[in-house]
Chain A
Amino acid sequence: MRTNDGLIAATLGALAVVAGAAAITRKSAFGSAVGRRHQPTVIAARRLNRASGLIAASTLLDSGIEHYRGAFHNRAMIAPLVVSALTLAVSAHGTRDARPVAHRLRDSVYAGAALTGLIGTGFHLYNIGKRPGRFSWKNYSWQNLFYASPILAPSAVALAGLLGYYSERLRESRSTGAPRVFGLPAGRALAALTAAGLVATAGEAGLLHFRGAYHDPFMYVPVTVPPIAAALLAETAASRPRKPRRLARWWLRLTTLIGFVGAGFHIFGVHREMGGWRNWRQNVLNGPPIPAPSSFSGLALAGLAALGLIEEHPHA
């Protein structure tokens, strides 16, 4: 691909992603839920579609940028782009779909995404394994953690797929009492899953911000706020049904917010590279990844869906 074509494609792609993300986060998508009383499972499922879509949008941009930087030297590097684009599309569809049934196409795209994420993780591990220094815990393994293919990045695709797949299961859960998915109480299981996702994502941010030597104090935010959200979610998952979980709700909203604010910080970070935004072609690649922080927002939205379920159904 010639550089120019690549950049044009990337720009168009980015615009499409932003449009998609806007579509799934638009309030009106939920307009139909206002008048009629919907099953809480469907509301939660649509929230999850939204969360999944947001994470997919973030990975689409992120892997697009990173794999473009890697010149797509392996054909398989296109896979996360295709899969997260599809995930984004079906998620947009899902957020507008109020029917209490799983959708065949959505279902298979989500399952495919989960699988692709797993395979991608394998690829990244394999890549690191090829480098000198391998996985030894001697000092130079930091080189690989900092600069080789990031181990955790592909699992964001997996997470988007998993959350989507979960939303489909939620839609079709028919129990009259508390909804269950895979035989587990739906809300709690989702809270636990989200908490794990938040911890992992905070771990990756922690690693990369350590690489950046926490040169800006705001770089501590993603390693403090999301883990607390994760703890609150974990506590919700583990505890007996109780009153509304106001702190957890507000903390998850805060986490949603910092995901977007983080992207803003990264935009500022690009400006601090040599040449700043005037040299955006290089600096968007070399600077901090702009889309990455919004994974926190996606996960926090999933956490809010879990809270909604639990509050509707204390035993969910």
Chain B
Amino acid sequence: MTVESNQLHDALHVPRGKDGRAPDPLRVGGWMPMREYREDEAVDFVIVGTGAGGGTLACKLAEAGFSVIGMDAGAWWRPLEEFASDETHQDKLFWTDERICDGDNPLKLGSNNSGKSVGGSTVHFAMVSLRFRPEWFKCRTLLGYGADWPLDWREMWRYYGEVEQALKIAGPVTYPWGPKRPRYPYRAHEINAAGWVLAQACEAMGIAWTETPLATISAPRGRAHPCVYRGFCVTGCATNAKQSALVTWIPRAVTAGAEIRDLAMVGRIEVNDAGLATGVHYQREGQWRFQRARNVVVAGYAIETPRLLLNSATDRYPDGLANSSGLVGRNLMAQTNQGVYGVFDDEIRWYKGPPSLTLTEHWNYTDTGKDFFGGYAFMAQGPLPQAWVSTQAGNRGLWGEALLREMQQYNHQAGFKIVGETLPQERNRVTLADEKDQYGLPVARVTYSLCDNDKALVKHSIDFMSRGLDAIGARDIWAEEDDTCHLNGTARMGDDPATSVVNADCRSWDIRNLWICDGSVFPTVGGVNPSLTIQAIACRTGDRIRQLAALGEL
């Protein structure tokens, strides 16, 4: 490894949120002052994880005047200086700690589903920022499947608006589906050739399409530069155009007085004899330490959240914390992510720009013509060469001459991928394995199987997208039939302590000062990418905690 690349990995070895200052990701070499709290003095909130859920909540709580510490196992990156235009190098953003996957359809964990950084997975996410279809919040009652949410869509509509403003989402002037929504703060980006392929296919199939609302800016914003359309989004954006938690919520949180501790892996939540959480044990700079807190929030993503709760079991809570329902770790939902691709005579160069500049939510909002419950969106694609070669060699199984030939068509390829709803099933779950990770903690075992409904949805989508590609003259149409993306569930919210882990305020039923605020709380996933909903829930939770504190109910 060269000296330079060592420097690019610095953040993985030396914590940066220390000594009263924090990196300012928006300025080369910049720092900003950061408040620090003592370990032996209880802060109002310790938040485990600083991604879409934790980062947002840290900001909201700090701005409401609470003392807040956010802890993240990952590094505090400086995108302007440390993000290389190199797919392999950027693996440094992924959560690649050991996990065991089994079930009928074992998940492939890593780049496509979890991040380990201050800012969480939003540092390398694809920025697609969609609202839920309103009916999904009551899908058991209204659509006959899954579980109802304890949230009202109209309230969520307001919080979606708050997040869209906070991230200056660049979206279409009018959105073709669902109830009226306010205008997106920034205008949609220019559609690339891959995006026009989707548009044409949709028009050929007679369904609506639109520009994708994206969390990357189409005009300057403060010190963040507008998107330069180089397409390195899912390996981390070096211009700060991407409105990740790292460059939005986290700097806001620090400015409002939150402390963020990077390279701080929480191994255990401490609970006292009264059954209340008292703080967290965490490892930083090779040492186990303890931070006292009046409230603990877990926001580690749908695998790490249940793992931490299970790893924190005590005599009083032998099945793990907040688990009287037995549902911690259950109902894991990995959205399906099948793709269909074809070759065109025209040059496409699909790597240019954010990967999904256009999409259709037709099958999210249409309930007829389906032989399954739930919905899916599908969107234009733009895999970088290495990702594409691993798709071809891996999922498609090409090698040698055939692989070479396929890769030579790279610039003429285009295609679509779904974000497909999967149903909550109790057998899909996160449990603890016997193996230990580098911190000495039992690793997660992730068991996953698709049900017939999930398979029917996938089949419908592949068929529909293939016909779309065929209708516009694509050649060599090929379907990637096995892929999953976002993970949710594992600590669902609800109205009944017997059938849910937390209530609508993300507060655990069992331990009143233990909260869960990330994608784990989803009772169902819908057919859209989850981050906007996770952030909207975090904004709501922040407001609710402020109200509860005012009422003396914390």
Known contacts: A140-B210, A212-B219, A213-B187. The answer to whether A133 contacts B199 by CB under 8 A is yes
One of A142-150, A236-244, A298-306, A307-315 at the interface: A142-150
Residues on the B chain within 8 Å of A146, using CB: 187-188, 190
Known contacts: A139-B210, A142-B172, A143-B211. The answer to whether A215 contacts B220 by CB under 8 A is yes
Q: Who on chain A is nearest to B225 by CB? A: A274
Query: How near does chain B come to A267, taking the closest CB pair, in angstroms?
Result: 14
Q: Are A139 and B172 in contact (CB under 8 A)?
A: yes
Q: Who on chain A is nearest to B228 by CB? A: A274
**A26 on interface, CB distance cutoff 8 Å:** no
**A40 on interface, CB distance cutoff 8 Å:** no
Q: 1/0 per position for A124-144, CB-CB distance to B under 8 A? A: 000000001100000110110
Query: In the complex, what distance in Å separates the CA atom of A215 from the CA atom of B168?
Result: 10
Q: Who on chain A is nearest to B229 by CB? A: A286
Sort A-B residue pairs by CB-CB distance and give the 8 closest, nearest first: A274-B225, A272-B220, A147-B190, A212-B219, A274-B239, A213-B186, A215-B219, A139-B174
Query: How near does chain A come to B226, taking the closest CB pair, in angstroms?
Result: 6
Residues on the B chain within 8 Å of A272, using CB: 220, 225-226
Q: 1/0 per position for B196-209, CB-CB distance to A under 8 A? A: 10011001000001
Residues on the A chain within 8 Å of B219, using CB: 211-213, 215
Which of B168, B173, B196 is close to A142, meaning CB atoms less than 8 Å apart? B173
Query: How near does chain A come to B177, taking the closest CB pair, in angstroms?
Result: 11
Residues on the A chain within 8 Å of B185, using CB: 213
Query: How near does chain B come to A214, taking the closest CB pair, in angstroms?
Result: 9
Q: Are B173 and A139 in contact (CB under 8 A)?
A: yes
Query: In the complex, what distance in Å separates the CA atom of A147 from the CA atom of B187?
Result: 11
Q: Who on chain A is nearest to B172 by CB? A: A139
Residues on the A chain within 8 Å of B187, using CB: 142, 146, 210-213
Q: Who on chain B is nearest to A148 by CB? A: B190
Interface on chain B toward A: helix, strand, loop, or mixed SS? Answer: loop
Query: In the complex, what distance in Å separates the CA atom of A215 from the CA atom of B174?
Result: 19
Q: Which of B176, B187, B218, B239 has the most CB of A within 10 A?
A: B187
**Interface residues, chain B, with chain A CB atoms under 8 Å away:** 168, 172-176, 185-188, 190-191, 196, 199-200, 203, 209-211, 218-221, 225-226, 228, 239, 241
Residues on the A chain within 8 Å of B173, using CB: 139, 142
Q: What total of A-B pairs shows CB separation below 8 Å? A: 63
Query: In the complex, what distance in Å separates the CA atom of A139 from the CA atom of B174?
Result: 6
What are 29 A-to-B residue pairs whose CB atoms are below 8 Å?
A: A132-B200, A133-B199, A139-B172, A139-B173, A139-B175, A139-B176, A140-B209, A140-B211, A142-B188, A143-B190, A146-B187, A146-B188, A147-B190, A147-B191, A211-B187, A212-B219, A213-B186, A213-B219, A215-B221, A216-B220, A269-B220, A272-B220, A273-B226, A274-B225, A274-B226, A274-B228, A274-B239, A274-B241, A275-B225
Query: How near does chain B come to A146, taking the closest CB pair, in angstroms?
Result: 7
Query: In the complex, what distance in Å separates the CA atom of A234 from the CA atom of B532?
Result: 49
Residues on the A chain within 8 Å of B239, using CB: 274
Query: How near does chain A come to B256, taking the closest CB pair, in angstroms?
Result: 23
Q: Are A143 and B191 in contact (CB under 8 A)?
A: yes
Query: In the complex, what distance in Å separates the CA atom of A139 from the CA atom of B209?
Result: 10
Q: 1/0 per position for A8-44, CB-CB distance to B under 8 A? A: 0000000000000000000000000000000000000
Interface residues of A in 95-153 (CB under 8 A from B): 132-133, 139-140, 142-143, 146-147
Which of A132, A143, A273 is close to B225, meaning CB atoms less than 8 Å apart? A273
Query: In the complex, what distance in Å separates the CA atom of A215 from the CA atom of B196?
Result: 27
Query: In the complex, what distance in Å separates the CA atom of A193 from the CA atom of B453?
Result: 66
**Interface residues, chain A, with chain B CB atoms under 8 Å away:** 132-133, 139-140, 142-143, 146-147, 210-213, 215-216, 269, 272-275, 286
Q: Who on chain B is nearest to A147 by CB? A: B190
Residues on the B chain within 8 Å of A216, using CB: 220
Q: Are B199 and A140 in contact (CB under 8 A)?
A: yes
Residues on the A chain within 8 Å of B220, using CB: 215-216, 269, 272-273
Query: In the complex, what distance in Å separates the CA atom of A132 from the CA atom of B209?
Result: 12
Q: Who on chain A is nearest to B238 by CB? A: A274
Query: In the complex, what distance in Å separates the CA atom of A146 from the CA atom of B186?
Result: 13
Query: In the complex, what distance in Å separates the CA atom of A69 from the CA atom of B175?
Result: 31
Residues on the B chain within 8 Å of A275, using CB: 225
Query: How near does chain A come to B81, taking the closest CB pair, in angstroms?
Result: 13
Q: Who on chain A is nearest to B195 by CB? A: A143
Query: How near does chain A come to B198, taking the closest CB pair, in angstroms?
Result: 10
Q: Which of B168, B172, B203, B226 has the most CB of A within 10 A?
A: B226
Query: How near does chain B come to A204, taking the closest CB pair, in angstroms?
Result: 15
Told that A213-B168, A213-B186, A273-B225 touch, could you supply 11 new A-B pairs with CB distance under 8 A?
A132-B199, A132-B200, A139-B176, A140-B172, A143-B211, A146-B188, A147-B191, A215-B186, A215-B221, A272-B226, A275-B225
Known contacts: A132-B196, A273-B225, A274-B225. The answer to whether A143 contacts B218 by CB under 8 A is no
Query: In the complex, what distance in Å separates the CA atom of A140 from the CA atom of B174?
Result: 9
Q: Are A132 and B228 in contact (CB under 8 A)?
A: no
Q: Who on chain B is nearest to A212 by CB? A: B219
Residues on the A chain within 8 Å of B203, using CB: 132
Q: Who on chain A is nearest to B357 by CB? A: A143
Query: How near does chain A come to B186, taking the closest CB pair, in angstroms?
Result: 4
Query: In the complex, what distance in Å separates the CA atom of A98 from the CA atom of B218?
Result: 50
Query: How near does chain A come to B506, taking the closest CB pair, in angstroms?
Result: 32
Q: Who on chain B is nearest to A215 by CB? A: B219
Query: In the complex, what distance in Å separates the CA atom of A142 from the CA atom of B211?
Result: 10
Q: Who on chain A is nearest to B173 by CB? A: A142
Q: Are B226 and A143 in contact (CB under 8 A)?
A: no
Residues on the A chain within 8 Å of B175, using CB: 139
Query: How near does chain A come to B452, taking the closest CB pair, in angstroms?
Result: 37
Query: In the complex, what distance in Å separates the CA atom of A147 from the CA atom of B185?
Result: 18
Q: Which of B173, B176, B186, B200 has the most CB of A within 10 A?
A: B173
Residues on the B chain within 8 Å of A211, using CB: 187, 218-219
Q: Who on chain A is nearest to B221 by CB? A: A215
Query: In the complex, what distance in Å separates the CA atom of A143 from the CA atom of B225?
Result: 21
Query: In the complex, what distance in Å separates the CA atom of A275 from the CA atom of B174?
Result: 32
Q: Which of A147, A272, A274, A286 has the most CB of B within 10 A?
A: A274
Q: Who on chain B is nearest to A213 by CB? A: B186
Residues on the B chain within 8 Å of A133, using CB: 199
Residues on the B chain within 8 Å of A132, using CB: 196, 199-200, 203
Residues on the A chain within 8 Å of B174, using CB: 139
Query: How near does chain A come to B266, taking the closest CB pair, in angstroms?
Result: 36
Q: Who on chain B is nearest to A142 by CB? A: B173
Query: How near does chain A come to B241, taking the closest CB pair, in angstroms?
Result: 8
Q: Who on chain B is nearest to A211 by CB? A: B187
Query: In the complex, what distance in Å separates the CA atom of A211 from the CA atom of B187?
Result: 6
Residues on the A chain within 8 Å of B210, using CB: 139-140
Query: In the complex, what distance in Å separates the CA atom of A147 from the CA atom of B196?
Result: 13
Query: How near does chain B come to A163, taking the closest CB pair, in angstroms?
Result: 32
Query: In the complex, what distance in Å separates the CA atom of A44 from the CA atom of B220?
Result: 42
Residues on the A chain within 8 Å of B186, using CB: 213, 215
Residues on the B chain within 8 Å of A273, using CB: 220, 225-226, 228
Query: How near does chain B come to A253, taking the closest CB pair, in angstroms?
Result: 30
Residues on the A chain within 8 Å of B211, using CB: 139-140, 143
Query: How near does chain B come to A308, taking the closest CB pair, in angstroms?
Result: 40
Residues on the A chain within 8 Å of B241, using CB: 274
Query: In the complex, what distance in Å separates the CA atom of A159 from the CA atom of B200?
Result: 37
Q: Which of B186, B203, B220, B228 has the most CB of A within 10 A?
A: B220
